[in-house]
Amino acid sequence: MPQLSEKMLEIHKATDAPLDHTVPPDFHPGQLTNIGRELEAAGGSLEPYEAARRAFAAMYSTASDANAAVASAMRPCPPFIPTPGAPPLHAKIPDADCEQISSLIYSRVATASRAVDAVGAQLDDVVASLGDAIARTLKHKDDGRAGFVQNQAEIRAHVKAITPPSSRFEFVVTAIDEGELDVASAILSGSNWTSGLGKKEFALLKDTAERRFGGKLYAQREAVRKLRAQLDSGGSSFVSKIISITPQVKETASQKAMKRLKGAA
């Protein structure tokens, strides 16, 4: 692997999280390194990458601290006869301490979740902004002029008249690959029906045109989309981990009695 740039090294130093063997690697900041490389290679700002790493660091440190809190609260169990077939229980959190530990964990989780939500919104904004910039690359310099509007209509009519219909997609793809922006602009400025194309074909043509004419902007958007997807999957793993380690708070006898009274009312 090539060496990291100075900028990426600075980001890593500021957003690192010590490895903890008790926490899944799914939401460790190191999971995002290759996406950061892609974003940098495409000439994009590394701000989205840094933000995503901060969110991952918040989740990872929260899970690590929660594990440590649970471990420190464990107390040896007195000798007992285990239920047949059940694993032996050597240590547990005293019932009296469960509520305090749970409250502590969920307080930290709430803080981390707010950070993750904020970063998710930030990444969505970046994707939308790059999408707008890519859309501008698909606009021909003569868009809107009467003569060109007529020319666009003629291009769409020509594509729609191509037989067999399966050849229409190939014709437009070839034109896009050859850099014919007037053809791409004409097809994409109308609906798929005006060119006799299916919806899936039209979507593929749009993606092909965005990749061809958007260039580095397209690559940047793809990298940020990957960051967003990783944030979602990492967040799911984080929630699962927190649920699995947070002690369950048992109801007291008085709380159970109050519930029964309310149910009978």
pLDDT one-digit tens code per residue, 87-111: 555 667 777 778 888 888 999 999 9
List pLDDT tens digits, range 161-200.
999 999 999 999 999 999 999 999 999 999 999 999 999 9
Residue 175 belongs to some domain of the structure: yes
Same domain, 206 and 225: no
Structural domain tally of the chain? 2
Residue 261 belongs to some domain of the structure: no
Same domain, 182 and 198: yes
8-state DSSP, 142: T
Residue 50: which residues within 8 A CB-CB, separation 6 or more? 11, 14, 15
- Residue type for position 116: V
Structural domain that includes position 128: 6-81+89-137+217-245
Same domain, 29 and 101: yes
Same domain, 126 and 61: yes
Residue 171 belongs to some domain of the structure: yes
Block mean pLDDT (10 aa), the chain, length 265: 90 96 95 97 97 98 92 72 57 76 91 96 98 95 89 96 95 97 94 96 97 97 98 96 84 51 53
Q: What is the pLDDT of residue 75?
A: 76
Same domain, 113 and 230: yes
Residue 72: which residues within 8 A CB-CB, separation 6 or more? none
Residue 1 belongs to some domain of the structure: no
Supply the pTM of this predicted model: 0.84
Q: What is the pLDDT of residue 144?
A: 84
3-state secondary structure of 18: coil
Same domain, 116 and 160: no
